[in-house]
Amino acid sequence: MNRAIARARRARERSRSNVSVDGRLLSKALDTSHRAILYLEDVSVSFDGFRALNRLSLTVDDGELRCVIGPNGAGKTTMMDVITGKTQPDEGRVYFGQTIDLTRMSEPEIAGAGIGRKFQKPTVFEHHTVFENLELAMKADKRVASTLFARLDSAARDRILQTLERIRLVADAKRLAGLLSHGQKQWLEIGMLLMQEPRLLLLDEPVAGMTDEETVRSAELFLELAGEYTLIVVEHDMDFVARIADRVSVLHEGRVLAEGSMHRCSRHEQVIEVFLGR
């Protein structure tokens, strides 16, 4: 409970201003005054007549850590494709905050508006150091390009150091990213997303292939990030989901079958049937 309250407070503080930590004006005002940061309403996507999403509706609150679970083919990845502009829905509404209509924007515009996505496979620059990876991610952010040509100013360095601490890679800052463990690469990629100051992070199976210890540390990291950021995590590891989620949405055949606490969802009769494969 205390965790949820602290999180809501951090989210409120952050949404009050559209100015980033180093004083830049964020590109487009995100209006979360009604608490929600993401709305999907009656979203449908068909591939050759097959409905991958079938009037899917989902609302995620600002600062929430939402887990999305569901069997293979349920539409989880397609949902992320719709949010990030990779796939256009046939019908339905997709809003970022109250006012930003994501269906009218390109993929780069959506990323620039503050939605970061991490795919399953880590894509770090293996031949650069961990520090350089974060630096490159920051410079790739078009909103800072004009002020950051060559040398990093101290605010930018501070941001990189803060991010290194967050993703537990301070001691590895000078190592080549290619030498990191699988789990560390995943954290680095999350760090690279954070450098672009997103508001919403979409993570597709972020702990797949991690060791138990890395999984525990990932849970800690996501719990730290929630509140300041909103996280949507697609994950198959139910213990992990139970440990981190504020709320769980169970997707099945392109729509939400159940929603609420992991405990509640796992007692839902239809959910049990689906997961037992009946």
Element (H, E) at 10: helix 2-16
- Closest distance of CB 48 from ligand ADP, Å: 6
Residue-wise burial string across 167-191, b where 16 or more C-beta atoms lie within 10 A, e elsewhere: bbbeebeeebbeebeebbbbbbbbb
Quick check: 249 binds Mg ion (CB under 5 A)? no
Quick check: 15 binds Mg ion (CB under 5 A)? no
Q: Which of 1, 2, 17, 47 binds ligand ADP (CB under 6 A)?
A: 47
Token couple for 66? 């939402």
Question: From CA 272, how far away is CA 69, in angstroms rounded?
Answer: 13
Quick check: 75 binds ligand ADP (CB under 6 A)? yes
Question: From CA 175, how far away is CA 131, in angstroms rounded?
Answer: 8
Size of the site for ligand ADP (CB under 6 A): 10
Which region, judged by CB under 6 A, interacts with ligand ADP, from 29-37, 73-81, 183-191, 214-222?
73-81
- Closest distance of CB 120 from ligand ADP, Å: 10
- Closest distance of CB 89 from ligand ADP, Å: 13
Quick check: 160 binds ligand ADP (CB under 6 A)? no
In the bound state with Mg ion, the residue whose beta carbon lies nearer, of 202 and 271, is 202
CA neighbours closer than 13 Å in the CB half-sphere of residue 1: 0
- Closest distance of CB 75 from ligand ADP, Å: 4
Token couple for 236? 């198959």
Which region, judged by CB under 6 A, interacts with ligand ADP, from 7-15, 65-73, 97-105, 134-142?
65-73
Label residue 5 exposed, middle or buried (CB < 10 Å: 0-12, 13-18, 19+). Answer: exposed
Q: Can you give the C-alpha Rg of the chain in angstroms?
A: 19
Which region, judged by CB under 6 A, interacts with ligand ADP, from 19-27, 54-62, 70-78, 129-137?
70-78
- Taking CA 227 as the corner, what is the angle to CA 225 and CA 229, rounded to the nearest 5 degrees? 60
Q: Which of 15, 77, 215, 249 binds Mg ion (CB under 5 A)?
A: 77
Q: Name the site residues for Mg ion (rule: CB under 5 A).
A: 76-77
Q: Name the site residues for ligand ADP (rule: CB under 6 A).
A: 47, 52, 70, 72-78
